Amino acid sequence: MAALTEEQSMLRDQAKSWVTEQFPVQKFREMRDSGVVARFTPETWQGMIEMGWTGILVPEQYGGSGLGYLTFGVVLEEIGRQLTASPLFASAYVGATAVMLGGSDDQKQAILPKVVDGSVILTLAVDEGPRHDPAKIALKAESTGSGYQLSGNKTFVVEGMAATDFIVAASIDDDVKLLHVPASADGVSREAMSMVDSRGYANVHFDGVEVGAEAVMGDAAVLEQVLDCARAGIGAEMLGTASQAFDMTLDYLKTRVQFGQVIGSFQALGHRAAELFGQMELSRSCMEAALQGIDADADDVSELASLSKAKVGDFIHEMSNQLIQIHGGIGMTDEFDAGFYLKRARVLEAAYGNQAFHRDRYARLLGF
């Protein structure tokens, strides 16, 4: 494994100060209370576009900077720390990855520059039931001669209300294909899912939606690759969220006084903090290794992605529970931010396969 480059460290500092100064968790609270349907504010999104974050993955020839996955992870981690809400991950990370891996030259030319300038918001629509199961896609695409007709439903579509374009996993005969479907196409309808983390998700319905043959953007193998990139990337955001929860907890351990001493002087809590610190460092290594693996085109990206999603998932699960527990009663109040981290944690855990999904997958990849 390599350490972060100087460029990546600088980007980290820049992202950290932008996020904490302009869009800290207080802004997320205001957004939640405002009831805005997209579940993010246009100013947040615009700011990210202006800083060039939408182009981090996109090659220079399509208007991006092509800095790679680990670099994007650095930004995602900082966003995760303050729960800054935006379609950055859905569109400029997962969506852009799908176009880059599965798109034709024409599709790349048509879509990627717009992902970078923010005029297109992409999202991947894959899940159909309550459990992530990309091996069983029921949404059907039937050949029409000149293209395909889609019928079926997608659920838990990230930024599904704000998206301008869907990349839909559809089953065609016995195969799976990714299809590019504009949200404005006839027969597409959607409704917001109000989830526990107050972020944007949708149920999306495809009712005889017609697309041309040129809408195809890869097959089952591409879908798997895109999902692995998504799993690795969301690990960075999760680790950011969990690290912030750790910092908040550590801070409280050093300031809250009971029995005449700070609660961090109780060995039971000191050891709990030490264990959590260990899990945090171990999961960071997995997360960075997965992103570096993608950048290096390693042949064990799938193993690393599952390792990362499971290890970071276990850590954020435990950390978010301890965040509440160690804060005592104050942790239970909506006025305090801890609840946001707990709620966000469970949604991130479920996205692109939870820990159990990835342990099973990892075992299978290792041949048992």
Of 218 and 353, the one with the shorter C-beta distance to another protein is 353
DSSP string, 219-253: EHHHHHHHHHHHHHHHHHHHHHHHHHHHHHHHHHH
Of positions 76, 216, 227, 310, contacts another protein by CB under 8 A: 310
Strands 122-125 and 165-172: parallel
Of 270 and 328, the one with the shorter C-beta distance to another protein is 270
CB of 14 to another protein, least distance (A): 20
DSSP string, 87-136: SIIIIIIIIHHHHHHH--HHHHHHHHHHHHHTS--EEEE---SSS--TT-
Of positions 50, 117, 173, 275, contacts another protein by CB under 8 A: 275
Q: Which stretch binds another protein (CB under 8 A): 59-67, 83-91, 235-243, 354-362?
A: 354-362
Is position 254 an interface residue for another protein (rule: CB under 8 A)? yes
Q: Which stretch binds another protein (CB under 8 A): 51-59, 115-123, 176-184, 248-256?
A: 248-256
Is position 253 an interface residue for another protein (rule: CB under 8 A)? yes
CB of 278 to another protein, least distance (A): 4
For the four alpha carbons of 172, 128, 39 and 161, in that order, the dihedral sign comes to positive
# residues near another protein by CB under 8 A: 38
Task: Looking at residues 91 to 130 of the shown chain, list those that interact with another protein (rule: CB under 8 A).
Answer: none
Is position 284 an interface residue for another protein (rule: CB under 8 A)? yes
Of positions 127, 128, 288, 349, contacts another protein by CB under 8 A: 288
Is position 250 an interface residue for another protein (rule: CB under 8 A)? yes
Q: Report the alpha-carbon distance of residue 181 to residue 70 in Å, rounded.
A: 29
Residue found by looking up tokens 């435990």 in the block: 318
Q: Report the alpha-carbon distance of residue 202 to residue 190 in Å, rounded.
A: 6
Of positions 39, 180, 199, 311, contacts another protein by CB under 8 A: 311
Q: Could you give the angle at the alpha carbon of 132 between the alpha carbons of 362 and 136, nearest 5°?
A: 95
Cβ–Cβ under 8 Å, residues 87 and 115? no
44 forms beta bridges with none
Is position 281 an interface residue for another protein (rule: CB under 8 A)? yes
Cβ–Cβ under 8 Å, residues 221 and 186? no
> Residue 39 has which token pair?
């579940």
Of positions 27, 81, 177, 359, contacts another protein by CB under 8 A: 359
**Contacts with another protein, residue ranges (CB under 8 A):** 1-3, 250, 253-254, 261-262, 264-267, 270-271, 273-275, 277-278, 281-286, 288-289, 307, 310-311, 359-360, 362-364, 366-368
